[in-house]
């Protein structure tokens, strides 16, 4: 965790990324509005460098990575996204695609769409809804990280 935190320090200092160690995982959360506009799954071009840096830092570790997609609780019903389940899964899948293009082993990654059902902040305020819509979380599924080789 310390190695990842140190590598991400400039993004942490800018309040773009948060790193937390839990009993079972290392969580890297992008907590900003740069990732996706409301109702859209395509990653904003301005977010690609941040995601690229996270990918390069996670790349040398062998741990499994779970990318969680979230949305706010505003209903959506489009041809592409009949509900927030599809939107959140598509967002997570697009981040996984970027990680794979950056060289993270696809066999290590999982996509999880949580829709509006696991909020990181309450939807009662605009700030809470924005935070939940935009966040992405990567979890190392084993305690601690170790480098390959």
The confidence score (pLDDT) of residue 60 equals 92
- Dist CA 57 CA 41 (whole Å): 24
Least confident of 34-38, 96-100, 141-145: 141-145
Calculate the alpha carbon distances from 97 to 50, 61, 93, 109, 132 in Å.
Answer: 14, 18, 6, 10, 21
Please list, residue by residue across 110-142, b when 16 or more beta carbons sit within 10 angstroms of its beta carbon and e when fewer do: ebbbbbbeebbbebeeeebbbbbbbbbbbbbee
Evaluate if residue 35 carries a pLDDT over 60. yes
Q: What is the dihedral of CA 13, 14, 17, 20, to 10 degrees?
A: 30
Give the pLDDT confidence of 65-111 residue by residue, as tens digits. Answer: 999 998 888 889 999 999 999 999 999 999 999 999 999 999 999 99
DSSP state letters, 110-149: EEEE-TTSS-SS-TTSHHHHHHHHH-EEEEESSSS-----
């Amino acid at each position: 965790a310390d190695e990842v935190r140190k590598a991400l320090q400039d993004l942490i200092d800018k309040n773009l990324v948060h790193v937390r160690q839990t009993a079972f995982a290392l969580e890297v959360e992008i907590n900003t509005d740069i990732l996706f506009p409301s109702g859209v799954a395509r990653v904003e071009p301005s977010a690609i460098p941040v995601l690229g840096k996270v990918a390069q830092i996670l790349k040398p570790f062998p741990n499994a990575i779970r990318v969680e997609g979230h949305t706010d609780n505003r209903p959506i019903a489009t041809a592409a996204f009949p509900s927030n389940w599809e939107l959140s899964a598509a967002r997570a899948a697009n981040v996984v695609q970027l990680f794979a293009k950056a060289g993270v082993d696809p066999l290590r990654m999982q996509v999880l769409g949580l829709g509006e059902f696991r909020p990181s902040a309450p939807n009662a305020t605009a700030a809470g809804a924005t935070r939940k819509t935009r966040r992405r979380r990567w979890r190392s599924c084993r305690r601690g990280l170790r480098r390959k080789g």
